[in-house]
């Protein structure tokens, strides 16, 4: 159902799906398989082998860090996560993808809690199955 939020024309412009640790992995891997696209992962520190790039981001209760492999060629990506709450993790992932040379073509979440966030990424609306 989350895959259906994107048109065939949009899917044609996507090379890989980025799944955010950890529940985003489940959604992204299924979409990657169903759409025959590559899969990239964004993880917490210390879980990916080098080379990797890190970005720190703000949460409602402090800061955290995300990492992504840097040995992949630049690709057109769709970022997928389970919940968009405060937006910190998604913003950090967008910054990380951009820093690694990837072009963000779409963002999708299972659940969006717009009352908790004002998340925005240039020219890239968030598509969600459920909004509360």
What is the set of active-site residues?
Answer: 23, 60
Query: Which position has the token pair 């020219």?
Result: 123
Q: How many CA atoms lie within 13 A of 96 on its CB side?
A: 27
Q: HEC profile for 31-89? A: HHHHHCCEEEEEECCCCCCCCEEEEEEEECCEEEEEEEECCCCCCEEEEEEEEECCCHH
In our burial notation (b when 16+ CB lie closer than 10 A, e otherwise), range 22-58 reads: eebbebbebbbeeeebebbbbbeeeebeeebbebebe
């Amino acid at each position: 159902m989350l895959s259906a939020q994107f048109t065939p024309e949009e899917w044609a412009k996507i090379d890989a799906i980025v799944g955010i640790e950890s529940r985003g992995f489940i959604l992204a891997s299924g979409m990657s398989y169903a759409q025959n696209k590559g899969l990239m992962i964004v993880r917490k520190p210390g879980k990916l082998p080098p080379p990797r790039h890190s970005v720190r981001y703000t949460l409602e209760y402090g800061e955290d860090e995300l990492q992504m492999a840097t040995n992949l060629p630049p690709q057109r990506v769709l970022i997928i996560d389970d919940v968009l709450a405060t937006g910190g993790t998604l913003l950090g992932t967008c910054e990380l993808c951009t820093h690694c040379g990837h072009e963000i073509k779409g963002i999708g979440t299972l659940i969006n809690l717009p009352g908790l966030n004002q998340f925005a990424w240039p020219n890239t609306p968030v598509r969600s199955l459920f909004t509360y």
